[in-house]
Amino acid sequence: MRNLDVATLRSLQGIAEYGAVTRAAEALNMTQSALSMQMKRLEDLFGEPMLRKQGRGVVLSDFAVELLLEARKLVAMNDAIVSRFTGERPEGRLRVGLTSDWLFNRVAQAVRAFSQANPRIELIINDGRSKDLRQQMKRGEHDVILTTEFEAPPGAIHLSKIDLAWFGAINGQAWRQRPLPLANSLHCAYHPVGLAALDRAGIEWFQAVADGGSDTWRVTAAADLGVTILPRGIAQAGLEPVDHGGALPPLPPTWLNVYVADGPARREAADFAGYLRRAVDDVAMAA
Protein backbone atom coordinates (compact mmCIF):
# COMPACT_ATOMS: atom_id res chain seq x y z
CA MET A 1 0.00 0.00 0.00
CA ARG A 2 1.42 3.37 -1.02
CA ASN A 3 0.59 6.52 0.95
CA LEU A 4 -0.16 9.98 -0.38
CA ASP A 5 1.63 12.96 1.13
CA VAL A 6 -0.83 15.77 1.93
CA ALA A 7 1.87 18.45 1.60
CA THR A 8 2.61 17.25 -1.94
CA LEU A 9 -1.08 17.36 -2.85
CA ARG A 10 -1.28 20.87 -1.38
CA SER A 11 1.57 21.86 -3.67
CA LEU A 12 -0.26 20.45 -6.69
CA GLN A 13 -3.26 22.57 -5.69
CA GLY A 14 -0.99 25.64 -5.43
CA ILE A 15 0.39 25.14 -8.95
CA ALA A 16 -3.14 24.84 -10.31
CA GLU A 17 -4.09 28.13 -8.67
CA TYR A 18 -0.98 30.13 -9.55
CA GLY A 19 -0.24 28.69 -12.99
CA ALA A 20 3.52 28.68 -12.40
CA VAL A 21 5.90 26.68 -10.26
CA THR A 22 7.81 29.80 -9.19
CA ARG A 23 4.76 31.71 -7.94
CA ALA A 24 3.31 28.63 -6.27
CA ALA A 25 6.61 27.96 -4.48
CA GLU A 26 6.69 31.53 -3.18
CA ALA A 27 3.11 31.28 -1.91
CA LEU A 28 3.88 27.96 -0.20
CA ASN A 29 7.14 29.28 1.32
CA MET A 30 9.33 26.69 -0.34
CA THR A 31 11.99 26.62 -3.04
CA GLN A 32 11.17 26.01 -6.68
CA SER A 33 13.40 22.94 -6.73
CA ALA A 34 11.64 21.47 -3.69
CA LEU A 35 8.26 21.98 -5.36
CA SER A 36 9.51 20.41 -8.57
CA MET A 37 10.75 17.41 -6.59
CA GLN A 38 7.29 17.00 -5.09
CA MET A 39 5.77 16.90 -8.56
CA LYS A 40 8.41 14.34 -9.56
CA ARG A 41 7.39 12.14 -6.62
CA LEU A 42 3.76 12.29 -7.75
CA GLU A 43 4.82 11.36 -11.29
CA ASP A 44 6.83 8.42 -9.99
CA LEU A 45 3.92 7.28 -7.83
CA PHE A 46 1.28 7.37 -10.57
CA GLY A 47 3.43 6.92 -13.67
CA GLU A 48 1.82 9.97 -15.26
CA PRO A 49 3.06 13.52 -16.00
CA MET A 50 1.71 16.23 -13.68
CA LEU A 51 2.49 19.40 -15.64
CA ARG A 52 2.74 20.66 -19.19
CA LYS A 53 3.93 24.00 -20.52
CA GLN A 54 1.48 26.57 -21.84
CA GLY A 55 2.87 29.90 -22.97
CA ARG A 56 5.14 31.29 -20.26
CA GLY A 57 3.51 29.23 -17.52
CA VAL A 58 2.47 25.69 -16.80
CA VAL A 59 -0.90 23.95 -16.53
CA LEU A 60 -1.85 20.62 -15.04
CA SER A 61 -1.92 17.60 -17.30
CA ASP A 62 -5.27 15.96 -17.92
CA PHE A 63 -4.35 13.27 -15.40
CA ALA A 64 -3.36 15.87 -12.79
CA VAL A 65 -6.67 17.70 -13.25
CA GLU A 66 -8.51 14.49 -12.35
CA LEU A 67 -6.16 13.85 -9.45
CA LEU A 68 -6.69 17.39 -8.15
CA LEU A 69 -10.43 16.79 -7.76
CA GLU A 70 -9.72 14.08 -5.19
CA ALA A 71 -6.65 15.82 -3.76
CA ARG A 72 -8.72 18.86 -2.72
CA LYS A 73 -10.96 16.57 -0.66
CA LEU A 74 -7.99 15.00 1.12
CA VAL A 75 -6.36 18.37 1.86
CA ALA A 76 -9.65 19.75 3.19
CA MET A 77 -10.15 16.65 5.37
CA ASN A 78 -6.62 16.99 6.72
CA ASP A 79 -7.22 20.63 7.66
CA ALA A 80 -10.57 19.82 9.27
CA ILE A 81 -9.01 17.07 11.41
CA VAL A 82 -6.15 19.32 12.54
CA SER A 83 -8.60 22.12 13.35
CA ARG A 84 -10.89 19.84 15.36
CA PHE A 85 -8.26 18.19 17.51
CA THR A 86 -6.10 21.26 18.12
CA GLY A 87 -9.08 23.24 19.35
CA GLU A 88 -8.81 25.91 16.66
CA ARG A 89 -12.18 27.31 15.74
CA PRO A 90 -13.09 29.94 13.13
CA GLU A 91 -14.19 33.34 14.42
CA GLY A 92 -16.56 33.86 11.52
CA ARG A 93 -17.90 32.37 8.33
CA LEU A 94 -18.10 33.80 4.81
CA ARG A 95 -20.33 32.10 2.24
CA VAL A 96 -19.07 32.81 -1.29
CA GLY A 97 -20.83 32.01 -4.57
CA LEU A 98 -18.78 32.08 -7.77
CA THR A 99 -20.11 31.72 -11.29
CA SER A 100 -18.49 28.67 -12.87
CA ASP A 101 -17.11 30.70 -15.80
CA TRP A 102 -14.87 32.64 -13.45
CA LEU A 103 -13.33 29.85 -11.40
CA PHE A 104 -9.97 30.61 -13.05
CA ASN A 105 -6.48 30.90 -11.59
CA ARG A 106 -6.61 34.53 -10.52
CA VAL A 107 -9.85 34.12 -8.60
CA ALA A 108 -8.40 31.04 -6.90
CA GLN A 109 -5.44 33.19 -5.91
CA ALA A 110 -7.80 35.84 -4.52
CA VAL A 111 -9.52 33.21 -2.40
CA ARG A 112 -6.17 31.96 -1.11
CA ALA A 113 -4.90 35.50 -0.38
CA PHE A 114 -8.06 36.36 1.57
CA SER A 115 -7.86 33.11 3.50
CA GLN A 116 -4.22 33.69 4.41
CA ALA A 117 -4.98 37.25 5.56
CA ASN A 118 -8.05 36.08 7.52
CA PRO A 119 -7.11 32.66 8.92
CA ARG A 120 -9.95 32.67 11.47
CA ILE A 121 -12.64 33.21 8.83
CA GLU A 122 -14.12 29.98 7.52
CA LEU A 123 -14.69 30.20 3.76
CA ILE A 124 -17.53 28.21 2.22
CA ILE A 125 -17.18 28.26 -1.57
CA ASN A 126 -19.93 27.25 -3.98
CA ASP A 127 -20.20 27.69 -7.72
CA GLY A 128 -23.24 28.01 -9.93
CA ARG A 129 -24.89 29.89 -12.77
CA SER A 130 -25.24 33.62 -12.26
CA LYS A 131 -29.04 33.64 -12.23
CA ASP A 132 -29.06 30.85 -9.65
CA LEU A 133 -26.55 32.68 -7.45
CA ARG A 134 -28.72 35.81 -7.50
CA GLN A 135 -31.75 33.80 -6.36
CA GLN A 136 -29.73 31.98 -3.70
CA MET A 137 -28.49 35.30 -2.32
CA LYS A 138 -32.07 36.56 -2.08
CA ARG A 139 -32.84 33.48 0.01
CA GLY A 140 -29.92 34.32 2.31
CA GLU A 141 -27.65 31.49 1.18
CA HIS A 142 -24.61 33.64 0.25
CA ASP A 143 -22.78 36.60 1.78
CA VAL A 144 -21.03 37.60 -1.47
CA ILE A 145 -21.36 36.41 -5.06
CA LEU A 146 -19.44 36.94 -8.31
CA THR A 147 -21.59 36.89 -11.45
CA THR A 148 -21.39 37.45 -15.19
CA GLU A 149 -24.41 39.28 -16.61
CA PHE A 150 -25.44 41.27 -19.67
CA GLU A 151 -26.29 44.28 -17.56
CA ALA A 152 -24.89 46.28 -14.69
CA PRO A 153 -27.95 46.49 -12.39
CA PRO A 154 -28.25 48.82 -9.37
CA GLY A 155 -26.75 47.34 -6.24
CA ALA A 156 -23.98 45.52 -8.10
CA ILE A 157 -20.30 46.30 -7.72
CA HIS A 158 -19.10 46.44 -11.31
CA LEU A 159 -15.64 44.92 -11.57
CA SER A 160 -15.13 44.83 -15.30
CA LYS A 161 -16.70 44.69 -18.73
CA ILE A 162 -15.37 41.59 -20.50
CA ASP A 163 -15.56 40.71 -24.20
CA LEU A 164 -17.08 37.38 -25.12
CA ALA A 165 -15.41 35.26 -27.78
CA TRP A 166 -15.93 32.05 -29.70
CA PHE A 167 -13.70 29.29 -28.31
CA GLY A 168 -12.77 25.98 -29.91
CA ALA A 169 -10.22 23.21 -29.76
CA ILE A 170 -6.59 24.24 -30.11
CA ASN A 171 -5.90 24.35 -33.86
CA GLY A 172 -9.46 23.12 -34.34
CA GLN A 173 -11.58 23.32 -37.47
CA ALA A 174 -15.12 22.91 -36.10
CA TRP A 175 -15.79 26.64 -36.54
CA ARG A 176 -15.58 26.19 -40.32
CA GLN A 177 -18.46 23.71 -40.43
CA ARG A 178 -21.93 24.69 -41.65
CA PRO A 179 -24.28 24.25 -40.00
CA LEU A 180 -22.11 25.39 -37.10
CA PRO A 181 -21.90 22.88 -34.22
CA LEU A 182 -22.60 24.80 -31.00
CA ALA A 183 -21.18 23.36 -27.77
CA ASN A 184 -22.82 25.49 -25.08
CA SER A 185 -25.14 24.18 -22.41
CA LEU A 186 -28.78 25.01 -23.01
CA HIS A 187 -28.80 26.57 -19.54
CA CYS A 188 -25.77 28.80 -20.16
CA ALA A 189 -26.55 32.53 -20.21
CA TYR A 190 -24.33 32.85 -23.29
CA HIS A 191 -26.35 30.30 -25.27
CA PRO A 192 -29.28 32.53 -26.35
CA VAL A 193 -26.87 35.40 -27.04
CA GLY A 194 -24.81 33.19 -29.35
CA LEU A 195 -27.92 31.93 -31.12
CA ALA A 196 -29.19 35.47 -31.69
CA ALA A 197 -25.82 36.53 -33.14
CA LEU A 198 -25.74 33.53 -35.48
CA ASP A 199 -29.32 34.10 -36.60
CA ARG A 200 -28.61 37.77 -37.37
CA ALA A 201 -25.59 36.70 -39.42
CA GLY A 202 -27.64 34.09 -41.29
CA ILE A 203 -25.43 31.24 -40.09
CA GLU A 204 -27.15 27.89 -39.63
CA TRP A 205 -26.25 25.99 -36.46
CA PHE A 206 -27.09 22.85 -34.53
CA GLN A 207 -26.75 21.83 -30.91
CA ALA A 208 -23.61 19.69 -30.69
CA VAL A 209 -23.77 18.98 -26.95
CA ALA A 210 -26.40 17.15 -24.95
CA ASP A 211 -27.62 18.54 -21.66
CA GLY A 212 -25.30 16.33 -19.65
CA GLY A 213 -22.85 17.08 -16.86
CA SER A 214 -21.19 20.43 -16.29
CA ASP A 215 -18.09 19.43 -18.26
CA THR A 216 -19.89 17.98 -21.29
CA TRP A 217 -19.56 21.16 -23.35
CA ARG A 218 -15.84 21.48 -22.50
CA VAL A 219 -15.14 17.95 -23.67
CA THR A 220 -17.16 18.49 -26.85
CA ALA A 221 -15.40 21.74 -27.75
CA ALA A 222 -11.91 20.48 -26.81
CA ALA A 223 -12.49 17.43 -29.01
CA ASP A 224 -13.15 19.80 -31.96
CA LEU A 225 -16.77 18.68 -32.18
CA GLY A 226 -18.15 22.18 -31.71
CA VAL A 227 -17.48 25.77 -30.68
CA THR A 228 -18.43 27.39 -27.42
CA ILE A 229 -18.67 30.90 -25.95
CA LEU A 230 -16.48 32.16 -23.09
CA PRO A 231 -15.27 35.50 -21.74
CA ARG A 232 -11.80 36.39 -22.97
CA GLY A 233 -9.11 35.92 -20.36
CA ILE A 234 -10.41 32.58 -19.14
CA ALA A 235 -7.98 29.73 -19.70
CA GLN A 236 -9.63 26.37 -20.34
CA ALA A 237 -7.54 23.27 -20.95
CA GLY A 238 -7.63 22.29 -24.62
CA LEU A 239 -9.49 25.44 -25.73
CA GLU A 240 -8.44 28.72 -27.33
CA PRO A 241 -10.21 31.74 -28.87
CA VAL A 242 -11.11 31.01 -32.49
CA ASP A 243 -9.21 33.16 -34.99
CA HIS A 244 -12.08 33.11 -37.47
CA GLY A 245 -11.25 36.31 -39.35
CA GLY A 246 -14.85 37.50 -39.29
CA ALA A 247 -16.42 34.19 -40.33
CA LEU A 248 -18.32 34.13 -37.03
CA PRO A 249 -20.42 37.06 -35.78
CA PRO A 250 -19.25 39.43 -33.01
CA LEU A 251 -20.60 38.84 -29.52
CA PRO A 252 -21.70 41.42 -26.94
CA PRO A 253 -19.62 42.09 -23.82
CA THR A 254 -20.59 40.76 -20.41
CA TRP A 255 -20.41 42.49 -17.06
CA LEU A 256 -18.48 40.95 -14.19
CA ASN A 257 -20.41 41.92 -11.05
CA VAL A 258 -20.11 41.38 -7.30
CA TYR A 259 -23.03 41.51 -4.88
CA VAL A 260 -22.57 41.90 -1.12
CA ALA A 261 -25.45 40.92 1.15
CA ASP A 262 -26.49 42.82 4.25
CA GLY A 263 -25.83 40.78 7.36
CA PRO A 264 -23.27 39.95 10.05
CA ALA A 265 -20.61 39.07 7.46
CA ARG A 266 -21.00 42.27 5.41
CA ARG A 267 -17.59 43.68 6.42
CA GLU A 268 -15.79 40.45 5.50
CA ALA A 269 -17.82 40.17 2.27
CA ALA A 270 -16.83 43.71 1.24
CA ASP A 271 -13.21 42.92 2.05
CA PHE A 272 -13.42 39.77 -0.08
CA ALA A 273 -14.88 41.82 -2.94
CA GLY A 274 -11.70 43.91 -2.86
CA TYR A 275 -9.59 40.80 -3.36
CA LEU A 276 -11.76 39.84 -6.33
CA ARG A 277 -11.34 43.31 -7.85
CA ARG A 278 -7.56 43.01 -7.66
CA ALA A 279 -7.74 39.57 -9.28
CA VAL A 280 -9.85 40.90 -12.15
CA ASP A 281 -7.51 43.87 -12.60
CA ASP A 282 -4.59 41.42 -12.89
CA VAL A 283 -6.44 39.51 -15.62
CA ALA A 284 -7.24 42.72 -17.50
CA MET A 285 -3.58 43.78 -17.39
CA ALA A 286 -2.44 40.38 -18.64
CA ALA A 287 -4.96 40.23 -21.50
42 and 183 share a domain?
A: no
Domain finish residue from 48, 69, 89: 89
221 and 286 share a domain?
A: no
Position 160, amino acid: S
Q: Hey, how many other C-beta atoms are within 10 angstroms of the C-beta on 11?
A: 27
DSSP states along 214-265: TTHHHHHHHTTS-BEEEETT---TTEEE---TTSS-----EEEEEEE-SSTT
DSSP assignment, residue 71? H
Percent of the chain with pLDDT over 70: 90
The pLDDT value recorded for residue 34 is 93
CATH code of the domain containing 206:
3.40.190.10
The pLDDT value recorded for residue 152 is 75
Mean pLDDT of 6-29: 81
Domain finish residue from 70, 89, 108: 89
Domain finish residue from 60, 89, 118: 89
* Average pLDDT for the chain: 85
Mean pLDDT of 138-167: 87
4 and 84 share a domain?
A: yes
Domain limits for position 202: 164-252
64 and 96 share a domain?
A: no
40 and 115 share a domain?
A: no
258 and 149 share a domain?
A: yes
Contact 52, 61 (CB under 8 A): yes
Alpha carbon of residue 39 to chain centroid: 22
CATH code of the domain containing 69:
1.10.10.10
Question: For the whole model, what pTM was predicted?
Answer: 0.65
232 and 268 share a domain?
A: no
141 and 269 share a domain?
A: yes
173 and 209 share a domain?
A: yes
pLDDT band at 201 (very low <50, low <70, confident <90, very high): very high
Contact 145, 274 (CB under 8 A): no
DSSP assignment, residue 50? -
**Ranked by mean pLDDT, which of 17-21, 42-46, 96-100, 153-157 comes out on top?**
42-46
Q: For the segment 108-128, what is each residue's pLDDT rounded down to a tens digit? A: 788 888 888 887 788 888 888
CA–CA separation, 148 and 150 (whole Å): 7
User: For residues 168 and 127, which has the higher predicted lDDT (pLDDT)?
Assistant: 168
Number of folded domains in the chain? 3
- pLDDT above 60: residue 64: yes
| Those residues with Cβ within 8 angstroms of residue 194's Cβ, 6 or more apart along the chain or in another chain | 182, 184, 229, 251
63 and 197 share a domain?
A: no
The pLDDT value recorded for residue 38 is 94
User: For residues 265 and 91, which has the higher predicted lDDT (pLDDT)?
Assistant: 265
109 and 181 share a domain?
A: no
Alpha carbon of residue 73 to chain centroid: 17
221 and 264 share a domain?
A: no
